[in-house]
Amino acid sequence: MKLHTSSTEKYQTVTGYDHTGVEINAQRFDYSVLVMPEVAPRPWNVTRFEDLTAAHFEQIAADKPDVVILGTGERQRFVHPRLVASLSNQRIGVESMDSHAACRTYNILMGEGRKAVLALIIEGKQNGDSKASA
């Protein structure tokens, strides 16, 4: 069978996920990351869902995405509207879901050409640190 290359190969695609990390284009990240289709994944300074602040979402708002897919870990959790006000004020939607669903949804939206941001919380580690937070 002949296989055709996908038009998404030049983009940042989730190629694997488990509770300890995510693979973007087969590169492993074991800390929270921001992923956009045409930008290399960046560390996101979040170690726990409970520590999210408005500043975390202001960082995302600066990229002016169409939509933010927030991966909240093993279970779906919702952020307070005041935390995402910087996004709401720019008419940028935020969808919260468990991280498995967030990874799948990001890939679909990215494949459709949407300027989506995957904001993925990997609890316990930050910015590539090798030690878990206490």
CATH code: domain of residue 31: 3.40.1230.10
Contact 44, 33 (CB under 8 A): yes
Average pLDDT on 100-116 reads 96
Residue 97 counted as domain residue: yes
Comparing CA positions, the residue from 59, 107, 111, 57 lying closest to residue 80 is 57
Residue 56 counted as domain residue: yes
Q: What is the mean pLDDT of the chain?
A: 88
Residue 33 counted as domain residue: yes
Q: Cα separation of 60 and 127, whole Å?
A: 16
Per DSSP, 5 falls in state P
Comparing CA positions, the residue from 52, 79, 71, 75 lying closest to residue 118 is 71
Residue 130 counted as domain residue: no
Does 54 score more than 60 pLDDT?
Answer: yes
Q: Which domain holds residue 115?
A: 14-120
Query: What pLDDT score was predicted for residue 126?
Result: 55
At 19, the pLDDT band (50, 70, 90 cuts) reads confident
pTM: 0.86
